Amino acid sequence: MSAEIINKAKSWLSSSIDDDTRQTIEQMLNNNDDSELVECFYKDLEFGTGGLRGIMGVGSNRMNKYTVGMATQGLANYLIKAFPNQDIKVAIAHDSRNNSRFFAETTANVFSANGIKVFLFDELRPTPELSFAIRELACQSGVVLTASHNPKEYNGYKAYWNDGAQLVPPHDANVITEVQNIKGIDDINFAQNDSLIESIGEDIDKIYLDRILGITLAPEAVKNQKDLKIVFSSIHGTGITLVPKILEQMGFENVHVVEEQATPDGNFPTVVYPNPEESEALSIALRQAADIDADLVMATDPDSDRVGIAAKNDKGEFQLLNGNQTGSLLVYYLLTKWKENGKITGNQYVVKTIVTTELIKDIADSFEIKSYDTLTGFKYIAAVIKELEGKEEFIGGGEESYGYLISDFVRDKDAIASCAFIAEMTAYFKNQGKSLYEVLMEIYQQYGMYQEFLVSITKKGKTGAEEIQTMMANMRATPPTQLAGSAVESVIDYQSGSMKNMKSGSEETIDFPKSNVLQYLTEDGTKISARPSGTEPKIKFYFSVKTELNSASEYDNQLNTLKAKVDTIKKELNL
C-alpha cells in the first residue's frame, strides 16, 4: 500500500472527527486486508461541475459528514466572495436515500456557521421544488442531497445558483477551486447558528403546486376524463409527496398509487435500480395497471426529476415509452394546445439537447416555433432560458434521459409538473378517442418515424480511459464516408467548435460551448453522437435513425428495419 494512502488516513485521525469515524479508520489501518482502506482513501471524492456523487462511507473518497462539509465550506466561501456585503440565503432539500436527511442538516449547519441564512425543507422533497424554492425565496444558491437514480449505496450533493439552475461557467469552476482549497477537516466550520436555519415545507408546496395548476392547458378535458385510470409509483422516493396531490388538485379522481413502492425508503427494496428508465423498476406498476385496465402508468425516480411512462399499444398491451417518445409527445401536445388557445405569437421556443431526437425540432418547425439545441445536461437548457428571459417565451423542452420541463418557474427537469401534463395530455387525447400510442403513431406518420438507441461502453481504469481517448481521436481523424449506405454529409466536433462538410471539405465554426462530443450526420437523416462520460469510465453512442411510416400497422416491421440499420452502423464503427 502506498504511503500516501496511509498518510491521508492518519491525517483524518489527527483531525476533529467523531469517535465512530475514528474507530472505523483505525480498524481499517489494523486490518490485514487493506482493500477497504485503499478504496476509501486512494483519492478525494471529486467535487465536479454537478457537485458530489459517491458511495457512502468513511474516508476521503466517500460521501460522509466530512466530505459534505468540505463541499459546503467551499461553496460558502465562494458565495461570500460572489455576493459581498449581501445577506446570503440558500435553500436545502433532500430525497429518501439513506443519510440524506443527515447530510442536509450537516449542509445547513455549515452554511449557518458561515453566517448564511438557510431555508431547510422539513422533510424529503423533489429536486424541482428545491429549484423553485431558490427562486421563490430569492436565494443566492441551493443544495439538494440526492444521487438521483444511482444504486442504494450512493448519495450525492447537487449545487444550484441563484437562477434555480445547477452551476454553469464560471461559477462551477470557481466553486470547484474553492472546494479544492479546503485542505482538511479542520478547515470546516461546523458550529451551526440555529437562528439562521428556518424550516420550510407545506408553505412552499402550495405555492409550487399553484404555479403548476396555473399553467395547465386543458381543464375541460380533465373534467370530462376525471375517471382516467392512472397508476403512479414513486419507487420509494420523493414523488409520493406531490404527484398524487397535483393530480388530485387537477381533478383526477381515479389515481392508483403503487402501495408497495409508496413508502420512502433508501434501500429501494422492491427494485434492482430505482430508475424509471429501467423496465424492471416499473414491473409492479405495470402489473397493477393490467389488473385495473389503466389508461396511463407513471413512475418517478427518487428525487423526482425524471419520469417514465407506459401506455397501451394497438394490441392492448402496456408499452413503455422511451424519453425521446415521451418528450416528443409532450412538445406536440404543448404546441397543439398553445395554438388551439391562441397563445402562439411567433416569439415562443422549445429546447432540447444535441443527443435528443430531431423529431422535437421537426414538430416545433411545423408550428413555426423556434427550437434551440444545447449540450447534454439540463443546466444548459436552463442557461438558454436565462439568456432569453424577457426576450422570448419558453414553452417546454427536455432531454432523452427522461427529464422534461414545462414553463420556466423551475430551472431543472421537473417530474412533478411533467406528471401533471402527461396526465392532462392523456385526458385531452382520450377526449378525442385517442390513446397516447395512437397519437405517437400519428406523429410518426406526419413527421417521420424516428427511433433512438443508446450504446454505452465501459472501459475501466487508466487503460480504459486511454482507450476511450484513442477511440475519440480515431473517430475525429478518420470519419466514415458513409453509414448504412447513406453518405455522411457533415461531421460536427463540439470540442473544436467546428462543422465539416464532407462533400466540399469546407469547415465552419459553430457557436457552442466546447465539449468532447462528436456527431456524424448522414443524407438520410441518421445522426450518430459519440460522447465520453465526464463522471464514469464510459463512452456513450447515441443513434438516431429515421424512416417513413404510412400506417400504424407498419410500426413493428419498420422498427425491426431501423434496429437492423443500427446494427449495421455499429459494425461499421467497430462497436
Residue type, 39: E
Closest CA to 71 of 95, 88, 87, 92: 92
395 burial (CB, 10 Å; 0-12 / 13-18 / 19+) is buried
Whats the size of the chain, residue-wise? 575
- Give the integer Cα–Cα distance in Å for 330 and 552: 20
526 grid coordinates: 441518421
Q: Are 566 and 543 in contact (CB under 8 A)?
A: yes
Q: Are strands 307-312 and 318-321 parallel, antiparallel or unpaired?
A: antiparallel
Closest CA to 172 of 536, 530, 534: 534
Q: Are 414 and 404 in contact (CB under 8 A)?
A: yes
Closest CA to 237 of 93, 44, 363: 93
Catalytic residues: 148
User: Residue 370 belongs to what H/E stretch?
Assistant: strand 370-374
Closest CA to 178 of 86, 12, 47: 47
- Give the integer Cα–Cα distance in Å for 335 and 17: 56
> What is the DSSP annotation of 231-265?
EEE-TTSTHHHHHHHHHHHHT---EEE-GGGTS--
202 grid coordinates: 407545506
128 burial (CB, 10 Å; 0-12 / 13-18 / 19+) is buried
Round to the nearest angstrom and report the end-to-end CA distance of the chain: 37
DSSP state of 56: B
Whether residue 170 has a cis bond before it, omega within 30° of 0: yes
Side-chain half-sphere exposure of 518, counting CA atoms within 13 A: 18
- Give the integer Cα–Cα distance in Å for 143 and 108: 9
Q: DSSP H helical segments within 83-164, as ranges?
A: 100-113, 127-136
> What is the DSSP annotation of 470-525?
HHHHHHHHS--SEETTEEEEEEEETTTTEEEETTT--EEE--S---S-EEEEETTS
